[in-house]
Amino acid sequence: MHNHSNIESLTIDIKTKAKTLGFMSCGISKAGFLEDEAPKLENWLNKNMNGEMSYMERNFDMRLDPTKIVEGAKSVISLTYNYYSEKNGENSNFKISKYAYGNDYHFVIKNKLKDLFEYIKEKTGDINGRVFVDSAPVLERAWAKKSGLGWIGKNTNLISKKNGSFFFLCEIILDLELDYDHIETDHCGSCTACIDACPTNAIVEPYVVDGSRCISYYTIELKNNIPDYAKNTYDDWIFGCDICQDVCPWNRFSKSHKEPLFNSDGEFLSMSKNDWIEMTKETFNKVFRNSAIKRAGFDGIKRNIEFIKRK
C-alpha cells in the first residue's frame, strides 16, 4: 500500500464514493496532535464557557490527539452532509433549528459513514478505524479546517465558500495513509453580521462563543432553568437556533438538501403555537420518535415554551 500511485488512486476512490453516498464534500488530513487547538480549548474550558456540558472536559487529551481514539491512526477523513432547507414553519410559530426538521441525523449519517468505511475496507483489507457523527471526543471543525473543507468563522461554525455552513460534520479516523488536503484560509474579512445578530451576545469576541450563553445550549443542553437575564432577548426558539448562520453572507449560496430522510413529514411544521402548548407527552413521542428533537425531551421542550410565554 505504500506505493504512492496506490495511495493517490485510493484517495480519489474514497472521495468519489463519498459523493455517491450523498456527502457534500470530503477532505483528508494527517492524524496527529492538534497543537494550535490545545491552548484554545484549555482557555475556553477554564472560563467555563462549556456551561453544564461537562463532557467537554472529559477526554481532554483524546480531543486533541486522534491516535488516542484509534490506535496507530494515520488519517482523519472529514465529510460534510447538507441539511439546508428552504422550508420554514410559519413565521409566527415557535422556531426550530433547520437541522432537526427530518429524521435524527445521527442515524441517517452514521449509516452512510459505515457504508463508506466498509467500502474502504473492501479496497484495502484489514484496517483499523472508527466512524464519528457528532460523537465522541473529536474536534470536528479543527479537522475539517485542516482538510480544506472550510474555515472556522467568527460564529465558530465551519464555513465553506461554496456551501455556506448548513451542514453536518462527521469523520472516519483510520490507520491508513492517504493523500492529504491543505488547510483553507479565512474569508470572514471585516464582517461582523453574526456577532451583531446574536440576541444573547454569546459570541463574546470574534471566533469565541460562550457556549453557556447560546440559545442552542439553553434549549437543548441546559438541564436547569434558563437564566432570567436571557428573557426578552430572544425570539421564539424552542429547539436550537440558526440566527448566526441565517445572517452569514456565505449562506446566501446554500442550496436545499436532497436527502428524503431530512424532509419533515410536515406534521410539526404545520403545528401552531397552540398545538405546541397543548401537546401531550404521547403526541410528542409519536411526532418526534425519529427526530433529534427527542434529545431535548418532552419536559425540556415544555420548559422552553414556558420560558418564551413568560417573557
Enumerate the active-site residues.
Answer: 134
Residue among 199, 201, 202 nearest 308 (CA): 199
Q: What is the DSSP string of 92-157?
A: TS-EE-GGGSSS-HHHHHHHHHHHHHHHHHHHHSS--EEEEES-SS--HHHHHHHTTS-EE-TTSS
- The interaxial angle of helices 105-124 and 4-20, nearest 10 deg, is 150
Candidates 147, 102, 115; CA nearest to 18 is 115
Query: What is the longest distance spanned by two Cα atoms in the chain?
Result: 65
Q: What Rg value do the Cα atoms of the chain yield, rounded?
A: 20
Nearest Cα to 81, choosing from 144, 135, 137?
144
CA distance 208 to 7: 37
